[in-house]
Amino acid sequence: MGVFKKLFGKGAANSSELKREQIDEFIRNALREPVLCRLRVENVGQLLSALQLHFVIHGMSTADALEHIDQNLVGVCPACRTHSAGKGLVLITAYQGMTSMGISFGGASGGAERLLAGKCRNRNCSCNAMLISWRPKGTPDTLHKPYLDFYA
Ligand SMILES: [Zn+2]
């Protein structure tokens, strides 16, 4: 196994909610090494808000934690390779709260409304899974891309 730690396996892509242990495992590994996992789009907000909370509990401001995630994490559609920035993915959680209050998103949201519906941002893609790559700065692309290809 290379430098990346694989988590969850295919099973997580089929469950409707992440287990506490899965979230804990992701966070524990993400603090040490690059991590890649495959999730349902609907679970991405749950994982990333837990990651953000972890950083906040350990002393970062909410804004710094968001920035840290944005710089180190990317979501990639395994079907069409559309990338989603870490910051946008963290904010899905906030969007989820807002839609429950009746606020909706229109066409200029960069695909947020599709992510909220558990689908790929690309309107021509029906994939409902997402690869989450946590790659702390300094990990070379040569290690990153082949692994994404392997995992898709
Ligand atoms: Zn896609």
The DSSP line for 21-74 is: HHHHHHHHHHTTS-EEEEEEHHHHHHHHHHHHHHHHHTT--HHHHHHHHHHHEE
* Ligand 1 midpoint to CA 95 (Å): 20
Q: What is the pLDDT of residue 1?
A: 40
* Ligand 1 midpoint to CA 56 (Å): 31
pLDDT, the chain, mean: 79
pTM of the model: 0.78
Residue partners of 150: CB distance under 8 A and separation at least 6: none
What is the torsional sign of CA 131, 142, 84, 25? positive
* Ligand 1 midpoint to CA 69 (Å): 21
* Ligand 1 midpoint to CA 11 (Å): 20
Q: Is the pLDDT of residue 152 over 70?
A: no
Domain residues for 82? 5-151
Q: Count the domains in the chain.
A: 1
Summarize pLDDT for 72-118 with one digit per residue, the tens: 999 999 999 999 989 889 887 777 666 666 666 555 567 888 888 89
Q: What is the pLDDT of residue 2?
A: 47
The answer to whether the CB of 33 falls within 8 A of the CB of 24 is no
The answer to whether the CB of 134 falls within 8 A of the CB of 6 is no
